[in-house]
Amino acid sequence: MNIAGKTALVTGGASGLGEATVRRLHRLGANVVISDMNRARGDALCAELGGRVTFAETDVTKTEKVQAAVDLALKQFGAVHILVNCAGTGWVSKIVSKEGPHDLEVFKKIIDLNLTGTFDAVRWAAFRMQGNQPTEDGERGVIVNTASVAAFDGQMGQIAYAASKAGVVGMTLVIARDLARFGIRCCTIAPGTFETPLTGFMAPQVRDQLIEQTPFPKRFGKADEFAMLVQQIVENPFLNGETIRLDGAIRMPPK
């Protein structure tokens, strides 16, 4: 799909991987809806980018907010052609400790945000995408979800996070198959260690250890490298139903 002139909705689009994606898609000529809980950052990014961009204050655990963000894309730009799901967060807690079992409500919240929130955005965006005018290749839309290498190499204490991201991976092929008749593709990116606001809080020794475990290049990924892969997925019509690790060949150790 040619990005120029299309409309993209990016959840978690006000910071980190989402922000880099917003910037790249906008630079390539897309209209962009920044969907995020942080209005201050979202408004600032809109002001910086200028035209062809708007902000939707969105909590992806609230389905009415997700629907409103999708509807804003249609109201403002006439359609939604590209969905990139970057909203999500992590949590560290072992399944049991001396204090007791893992907090069930916390587990449910991580699943609700990372997995159910992704599914909800997909279903609302796809519902609108099916009405798009098809391209010459018959495409009506492209969906890019964000998982994590934790879906495959979950570390100790990542039970909720790993489960949620494994669920995103598990949905990918099914989404692609369900939406094939409408000409809507779906892929998932599973990032490794990236420079984001969250990883900025890591202790230096933890960062150094992760960098040492990365075969090449020996550094954290750059947010725009994630956005580059989003661009490739959108533009390459034969990429569909696949989860792509973007991780410098790291395989996470148990802890």
Predicted confidence at residue 252, as pLDDT, reads 87
Is 28 domain-assigned?
yes
The first and second tokens of residue 191, run together, are: 């990032």
Is 227 domain-assigned?
yes
Is 99 domain-assigned?
yes
Is 179 domain-assigned?
yes
Is 1 domain-assigned?
no
pLDDT by residue (tens digit) across 207-219? Answer: 888 888 898 999 9
pLDDT by residue (tens digit) across 105-163? Answer: 999 999 999 999 999 999 999 999 999 999 998 999 999 999 999 999 988 999 999 99
pLDDT by residue (tens digit) across 53-91? Answer: 999 999 999 999 999 999 999 999 999 999 999 999 988
Residue 201 has pLDDT above 80, yes or no: no
Confirm whether 161 is a catalytic residue. yes
Predicted confidence at residue 9, as pLDDT, reads 98
- Quote the number of domains for the chain: 1
Is 254 domain-assigned?
no
Which among 161, 182, 194, 226 is annotated as catalytic? Answer: 161
User: Which one, of 74, 30, 81, lies nearest residue 56 by Cα?
Assistant: 74
Predicted confidence at residue 118, as pLDDT, reads 98
Which CATH number characterizes residue 106's domain?
3.40.50.720
Domain residues for 224?
7-246
* Alpha carbons 15 and 124: distance in angstroms, whole number: 23
Range in 155-169, 203-217, 241-255 with the lowest mean pLDDT: 203-217
Confidence tier at 6 by pLDDT (50, 70, 90) = very high
Percent pLDDT > 90 in the chain is 86
Q: Calculate mean pLDDT across residues 210-237.
A: 95
Render the burial of 1-37: b for 16+ CB within 10 Å, e for the rest.
bebeebbbbbbbbbbbbbbbbbbbbbebebbbbbbbb
Residue 199 has pLDDT above 80, yes or no: no
Entry pTM: 0.95
User: Which one, of 38, 33, 72, lies nearest residue 55 by Cα?
Assistant: 33
Predicted confidence at residue 173, as pLDDT, reads 98
Is 251 domain-assigned?
no
Predicted confidence at residue 209, as pLDDT, reads 86
Predicted confidence at residue 54, as pLDDT, reads 98
* Alpha carbons 62 and 110: distance in angstroms, whole number: 14
Is 253 domain-assigned?
no
